[in-house]
A and B are shown apart, each in its own frame.
Chain A
Amino acid sequence: MDIDYRETLRYLGYKNQAADAAVLALVSQCWEELDRTVSPRSFWREYPLTVAGDEIDAWIFQTRSSALGRNLKGCEQILVFAASLGAGVDLLIQRYEKLQMSKAVVMQAAAAAYLEKYCDRVNEELRQRFEADGWYLRPRFSPGYGDFSLKCQTAIVAALEAGKRVGITLTDSLLMAPSKSVTAVIGVGRTPLACEVKGCEACGKTDCAFRR
């Protein structure tokens, strides 16, 4: 995958400052190692959806969330999505945590950026596929964003059989393992969005250190 310096640096706390060459060299080394290590997998399923304000019935889970309600407004179906870079990436980060912490933090940031890019790519394929049939996708929205409860993770992981299909498991505290994994829902509606708000802009945590 093409190196995304900008996003990697953002995860490292850079806002618009330029990184020096040593850090840039580390970033590119990390992406190269990731390219050799990742085994990206993703899986999704479609379910019927009803949204009434902040009451959401996504067939496999029912929840109340105003942020998700806004995101899914006007949608008739929901895509439940999971993706992961695989356990190898965690092992790689862990290795450098023991051997070279500076590289571990860069690897961690690069892997986060890598995962987002991978998800975007899969998401784009989905968008094209659905638009061909006259359906429009909303931006993907993950449990834990805004007031979308992390508890919905359990139902999502179970419904997708994410353990065997993507390799995602949940810890008792609902963290995903391997860590470089994403679960999300994507609303499907008959109308395109006038202005797509996604990523940081869609998130309510305005004091986040990593906000774009």
Chain B
Amino acid sequence: MGILETVRQRKLFFDGGMGSLLVEKGLRPGELPETWNVAHPEVLQEIHLQYLRAGSDEITTNTFGANGLKFVGDGDFSLKRVVTAAVENAKIARERFAEERRVLADGMPADVTNGAAGTEPCAYIGLDLGPTGKLLKPLGDLAFEDAYALYKEVVIYGAEAGADFVLVETMSDGYEAKAAILAAKENCDLPICATMIFDKKGKLLTGGNVESTVALLEGLGVSMLGVNCGLGPVQMKDILKEILKAASVPVIVNPNAGLPRTENGKTVYDIDAEEFACVMEEIADMGANALGGCCGTSPEHIAKMTARCLDKKQVLPENKNRTVISSYAQAVEIGQSPVLIGERINPTGKSKFKQALRDHDIEYILREGVTQQEHGAHVLDVNVGLPEINEPSMMEEVVRELQSVIDLPLQIDTSDITAMERALRIYNGKALINSVNGKEESMRAVFPLVKKYGGVVVALTLDESGIPDTADGRIAIAEKIYRTAAEYGIDRKDILIDALCLTVSSDSRGALTTLETLRRVRDELHGKTVLGVSNISFGLPQRENINAAFFTMAMQNGLNAAIINPNSEAMMRSYYSFKALAGLDPQCGEYISVYGNQAAVVGGVLAGTSAVGTSGAAGMTCGSFSGAAGSRTGTDRPAGAGAADAAAGRTAGCAGGTRDAKSPGEGGAAGGELSRCILRGLKEQAQASVRELLAKRDSLSIINEEMIPALDQVGKGFENGTVFLPQLLMSAEAAKAAFEVIKEHMSRSGETREKKGKIILATVKGDIHDIGKNIVKVLLENYDYEVIDLGKDVPPETVAAAAAGNHVPLVGLSALMTTTVPAMEETIRLLRRKTPWVKIMVGGAVLTEEYAKTIGADRYCKDAMASVNYAEETIRKRTD
């Protein structure tokens, strides 16, 4: 009988801590515990044996920190030897224990091997996969695929050596857990269990909560999940409650021996073995299915615990039947209250978006995402399909970027299976997948991905014979999809039936068919539904009218998730109103919070949130500058004062007349309103002002006579210490906003403006702090350079290849720490060899003029303005 059958029958007992026992036996600080697998196998065997005697059903191999980062090379302590020895030690302990039992039972036969039919092994060996000790990119320096590779190696050795299951444990990052679980899934056939560290508030170190983590782990198909380490059993009770509410698989609880404190140099815990066992008994009664211990627990803890819990009734969690997707930070349940999926990250019918994809303008895409989040989207659809771009790599990149900036779950929207798989692989959570349909070919391609990576999949009710005209036809396809999904082991809770809507202008009964389908999926199939709502109005004028009305009707007929434009006021009005009317918004609280402060509808158009927001923000920045003089005296200015100024600023300060207070860089400035807006960092006003100017003057003169002089002036102020970094950047942002307006104007009139030249920027290998480099980028772009941003932690070869490939005249390198300056030096050496024409500027906290010279750079730039000056100097010289 395997571990999964055992846990279905009775409480299962894990073992306890290992590290503190090894320290007792003489493990020194800094010594890798896993070396003892080879150097002192008898110690490990003894510890395992003690746990077995204490009643543990499983023993965890001493491989917590065994990975290719710590165990490099061959020899006695090669990774393979250390992992193999760990499993061997567990096996030997298990044989000795079986032998002891046999003697006790007076010759009764006992099978010590796993899997023999009809017999029960006396214990299961869990191959321990702990955290790598590295933080994954983008916050750390370990790539997801590299983490995967590290785990893969251990899984292969451990499975080969005879482990019974894989135990992914002490994970404080869901993304790292995903890498470990995928490595186990793809490289062995053993069951996988995963336990995470939550803090007292039920959060992972990287921000996920219990619900998002359970969604992720169950999506990936773990057989059991739970919590270990970090807390004592007392504090874990609240976490357990949360897990039991969400989980559908058996739950593991492996706490520390209490909360730690240091006493005379030793770590001690706030409760003893007896109290530990007492609380574990409560935890067993609450519904934990597998119980054990972590740091500080010993065979004594486990013996006392098993004695109390052995005869407890095992109650397995029921299938929760909830449809849940997640991001790294949060879960979104698709249930009674309609979920909004923002549709704007999609090039269809959007020429600007298409251009952004062609120009590789990721920032544009991120802004589309942020805007939708601000308007209330719960999920973002991501579609980057365009014939002339490489969709799989673009999809992967956009998903990576979006999930590093936005904490909403994503809907991977593509018909390209490679793009779908690449996105799902690196997605940090349980994604929505758009889409599968009733065609055999589609189901065969998509379902294996859903099963492997986890996810909720949108299922279109069409098949080889097209879209059925009737609800009957669509329901039949939905049933077929459910059936086929079940064959792949995909639960119907992870399927959203798309009832499909065709444009009502071509079929006047089309909407009714869709609504009937929605209703019947809900009532007859007890399934969940989704709809791309805006399709309904194709070909009609004032599409929002139809969309909003249809949206309300669809929600009333049971729609669970809607793919809509959340930036549309009309759609959001339908949404909030429906929730208020359908009993989904207690005391209309949400409705009032959104609309309570808005002006009434005027002429059919509401002064919507976005409009109010813009003018409010404008007032804030404008007014706050007019308050500047008052704040010079002290820094502890109450926060409310800025807002009061802002209100005043909206009426007086922003009228466009002269102002009393000058921004610090403004002394003696010539130029008009636009210059002033740039000097003061006023984005919206800068845009308004440039629009006015464009009616009277040509673009180039505006740039050269208004904007550049203003930027120069701010730059000079920065250099002589009267303007500070935040102001320099606010001015840059205002200028950038104005440039956008000019760019649009120019593209409409067919004008173009040459960039001054290409510049590569990179933060060198080993360095993951790139704020300095990003500041330089903002400024260089304002001065009309095309910046090729290679990001952070960039290997020398990548910089050299990009410099050669783009034939750039100038490369800027940034390094923060003394430890990364050698990488900068290496990059410079390589550039000198491969691209001798390139000038190199360097910057970063530890660099000095002297240091820069030593490592062979052409110029040390002490700040961002110095970089701009050097670019102007070198590139202008070349072009003159």
Q: Is there an interface contact between A94 and B624, defined as CB atoms closer than 8 Å?
A: no
Max chain A Cβ within 10 angstroms of own Cβ: one of B140, B267, B621, B642: B140
- Min CB distance, B637 to chain A, in Å? 5
Q: Is there an interface contact between A21 and B630, defined as CB atoms closer than 8 Å?
A: yes
Max chain A Cβ within 10 angstroms of own Cβ: one of B134, B172, B401, B725: B725
Q: Is there an interface contact between A163 and B631, defined as CB atoms closer than 8 Å?
A: no
A200, CB-defined interface residue at 8 Å: no
Instruction: For B197, list chain A residues within 8 Å (CB).
Output: 164
- Offer 6 A-B interface pairs, CB within 8 angstroms, sorted by A: A21-B627, A99-B367, A99-B405, A171-B768, A175-B141, A175-B819
The answer for the CA separation of A99 and B368 in the assembled complex, in Å, is 11
Segment at the B interface, from A100-108, A114-122, A191-199: A100-108
Q: Is there an interface contact between B642 and A25, defined as CB atoms closer than 8 Å?
A: yes
Q: Which of B140, B664, B727 contacts A177 (CB 8 A)?
A: B140
Q: Is there an interface contact between B207 and A91, defined as CB atoms closer than 8 Å?
A: yes
> Please, what's the 1-or-0 string for A11-25, where 1 marks a CB less than 8 Å from any CB in chain B?
011100111111111
The answer for the CA separation of A172 and B768 in the assembled complex, in Å, is 10
Instruction: Given A99-B366, A105-B771, A164-B170, verify A21-B631 contact (CB < 8 Å).
Output: yes
The answer for the CA separation of A179 and B139 in the assembled complex, in Å, is 8
Q: Is there an interface contact between A18 and B635, defined as CB atoms closer than 8 Å?
A: yes
- Min CB distance, A15 to chain B, in Å? 8
> Please, what's the 1-or-0 string for A25-54, where 1 marks a CB less than 8 Å from any CB in chain B?
110100000000001010011111000000
Q: Which of B140, B366, B631, B726 contacts A105 (CB 8 A)?
A: B726
Q: Is there an interface contact between B267 and A45, defined as CB atoms closer than 8 Å?
A: yes
Instruction: For A12, list chain B residues within 8 Å (CB).
Output: 724-726
The answer for the CA separation of A173 and B817 in the assembled complex, in Å, is 8
- Min CB distance, A127 to chain B, in Å? 16
**Contacts A19-B631, A21-B631, A169-B140 known; 18 new A-B pairs at CB < 8 A:** A5-B636, A5-B637, A18-B632, A20-B664, A22-B628, A22-B642, A28-B642, A39-B203, A87-B205, A88-B207, A95-B406, A98-B366, A101-B775, A150-B819, A163-B133, A169-B135, A170-B133, A177-B140
Instruction: For A100, list chain B residues within 8 Å (CB).
Output: 733
- Min CB distance, B599 to chain A, in Å? 25
Instruction: For A6, list chain B residues within 8 Å (CB).
Output: 635-636
B363, CB-defined interface residue at 8 Å: yes
Q: Is there an interface contact between A18 and B262, defined as CB atoms closer than 8 Å?
A: no
Q: Is there an interface contact between A172 and B766, defined as CB atoms closer than 8 Å?
A: yes
Q: Is there an interface contact between B724 and A19, defined as CB atoms closer than 8 Å?
A: yes
Instruction: For B401, list chain A residues within 8 Å (CB).
Output: 98
- Min CB distance, A175 to chain B, in Å? 6
> Please, what's the 1-or-0 string for B616-657, where 1 marks a CB less than 8 Å from any CB in chain A?
000011001101101111111101011001000000000000
Instruction: Given A19-B635, A45-B262, verify A177-B768 contact (CB < 8 Å).
Output: yes
> Please, what's the 1-or-0 string for B230-256, where 1 marks a CB less than 8 Å from any CB in chain A?
100000000000000000000000000
B387, CB-defined interface residue at 8 Å: no
Name B722-757 residues within 8 Å CB distance of A: 724-727, 729-730, 732-733
A86, CB-defined interface residue at 8 Å: yes
> Please, what's the 1-or-0 string for A109-148, where 1 marks a CB less than 8 Å from any CB in chain B?
0000000000000000000000000000000000010000
> Please, what's the 1-or-0 string for A167-203, where 1 marks a CB less than 8 Å from any CB in chain B?
1011111110111000000000000000000000000
The answer for the CA separation of A159 and B29 in the assembled complex, in Å, is 7
B138, CB-defined interface residue at 8 Å: yes
Q: Which of B366, B634, B645, B680 contacts A18 (CB 8 A)?
A: B634
Instruction: For A14, list chain B residues within 8 Å (CB).
Output: 724
Instruction: Given A13-B724, A87-B135, A101-B778, verify A24-B767 contact (CB < 8 Å).
Output: no
Instruction: For B267, list chain A residues within 8 Å (CB).
Output: 45
- Min CB distance, A196 to chain B, in Å? 24
Q: Is there an interface contact between A173 and B767, defined as CB atoms closer than 8 Å?
A: yes
The answer for the CA separation of A167 and B134 in the assembled complex, in Å, is 10
Residues of B participating in the A interface, judged by any CB pair closer than 8 Å: 29-30, 131, 133-135, 138-141, 170, 172-173, 197, 199, 201, 203, 205-207, 229-230, 262, 264-265, 267, 363, 366-367, 370, 401, 404-407, 620-621, 624-625, 627-628, 630-637, 639, 641-642, 645, 663-664, 680-681, 721, 724-727, 729-730, 732-733, 766-771, 774-775, 778, 816-820, 823
Q: Is there an interface contact between A45 and B635, defined as CB atoms closer than 8 Å?
A: no
The answer for the CA separation of A94 and B229 in the assembled complex, in Å, is 29
Residues of A participating in the B interface, judged by any CB pair closer than 8 Å: 3, 5-6, 9, 12-14, 17-26, 28, 39, 41, 44-48, 59-61, 77, 86-88, 90-91, 93-95, 97-102, 104-106, 108, 144, 150, 155, 158-159, 163-165, 167, 169-175, 177-179
Which residue of chain A has the shortest Cβ distance to B636 in the bound complex?
Answer: A5
Q: Is there an interface contact between B819 and A39, defined as CB atoms closer than 8 Å?
A: no
Q: Is there an interface contact between B140 and A171, defined as CB atoms closer than 8 Å?
A: yes
Instruction: For A21, list chain B residues within 8 Å (CB).
Output: 624-625, 627-628, 630-631, 637, 641-642, 645
Q: Which of A23, A28, A41, A101 contacts B732 (CB 8 A)?
A: A101
- Min CB distance, B851 to chain A, in Å? 12
Instruction: For B817, list chain A residues within 8 Å (CB).
Output: 144, 150, 173-175
Instruction: Given A90-B139, A105-B771, verify A158-B30 contact (CB < 8 Å).
Output: yes
Which residue of chain B has the shortest Cβ distance to A25 in the bound complex?
Answer: B642
Q: Is there an interface contact between A26 and B631, defined as CB atoms closer than 8 Å?
A: no
Q: Which of A45, A165, A169, A171 contacts B265 (CB 8 A)?
A: A45
Instruction: For B206, list chain A residues within 8 Å (CB).
Output: 87-88
Q: Is there an interface contact between A9 and B635, defined as CB atoms closer than 8 Å?
A: yes
Q: Is there an interface contact between A175 and B404, defined as CB atoms closer than 8 Å?
A: no
Instruction: For B632, list chain A residues within 8 Å (CB).
Output: 18, 20
Q: Is there an interface contact between B135 and A105, defined as CB atoms closer than 8 Å?
A: no
The answer for the CA separation of A24 and B624 in the assembled complex, in Å, is 9
- Min CB distance, B233 to chain A, in Å? 17
Q: Which of B170, B405, B642 contacts A95 (CB 8 A)?
A: B405
- Min CB distance, B318 to chain A, in Å? 32
The answer for the CA separation of A58 and B816 in the assembled complex, in Å, is 28
Q: Is there an interface contact between A173 and B820, defined as CB atoms closer than 8 Å?
A: yes
Which residue of chain A has the shortest Cβ distance to B821 in the bound complex?
Answer: A173
Q: Is there an interface contact between B30 and A87, defined as CB atoms closer than 8 Å?
A: no
The answer for the CA separation of A60 and B28 in the assembled complex, in Å, is 9
Q: Which of B30, B133, B639, B820 contacts A25 (CB 8 A)?
A: B639
Instruction: For B636, list chain A residues within 8 Å (CB).
Output: 5-6
The answer for the CA separation of A179 and B802 in the assembled complex, in Å, is 28
Instruction: For B774, list chain A residues within 8 Å (CB).
Output: 97, 101, 104
The answer for the CA separation of A59 and B373 in the assembled complex, in Å, is 51
The 3 A-B pairs with the shortest beta carbon distances in the complex, nearest first, are A173-B766, A20-B628, A102-B729
Instruction: For B133, list chain A residues within 8 Å (CB).
Output: 163, 169-170
Q: Is there an interface contact between A163 and B203, defined as CB atoms closer than 8 Å?
A: no
Q: Which of A25, A48, A94 contacts B405 (CB 8 A)?
A: A94
Q: Is there an interface contact between B819 and A173, defined as CB atoms closer than 8 Å?
A: yes
- Min CB distance, B648 to chain A, in Å? 11
Instruction: For A44, list chain B residues within 8 Å (CB).
Output: 262
Instruction: For A158, list chain B residues within 8 Å (CB).
Output: 29-30
Instruction: For A46, list chain B residues within 8 Å (CB).
Output: 262, 264-265
Instruction: For A150, list chain B residues within 8 Å (CB).
Output: 817-819
The answer for the CA separation of A115 and B141 in the assembled complex, in Å, is 22
- Min CB distance, B636 to chain A, in Å? 6
Q: Is there an interface contact between B625 and A22, defined as CB atoms closer than 8 Å?
A: yes
Max chain A Cβ within 10 angstroms of own Cβ: one of B138, B197, B769: B769
- Min CB distance, B579 to chain A, in Å? 25
The answer for the CA separation of A5 and B203 in the assembled complex, in Å, is 30
Instruction: For B406, list chain A residues within 8 Å (CB).
Output: 95
Instruction: For B727, list chain A residues within 8 Å (CB).
Output: 20, 22-23, 102
Instruction: For B621, list chain A residues within 8 Å (CB).
Output: 22
Instruction: For B732, list chain A residues within 8 Å (CB).
Output: 101-102
Instruction: Given A21-B631, A99-B370, A167-B205, verify A91-B139 contact (CB < 8 Å).
Output: yes
Q: Is there an interface contact between A102 and B681, defined as CB atoms closer than 8 Å?
A: yes
- Min CB distance, A27 to chain B, in Å? 9
Instruction: For A178, list chain B residues within 8 Å (CB).
Output: 135, 139
Instruction: For A18, list chain B residues within 8 Å (CB).
Output: 631-635
Instruction: Given A45-B265, A173-B817, A175-B817, verify A104-B771 contact (CB < 8 Å).
Output: yes
Instruction: For B664, list chain A residues within 8 Å (CB).
Output: 20
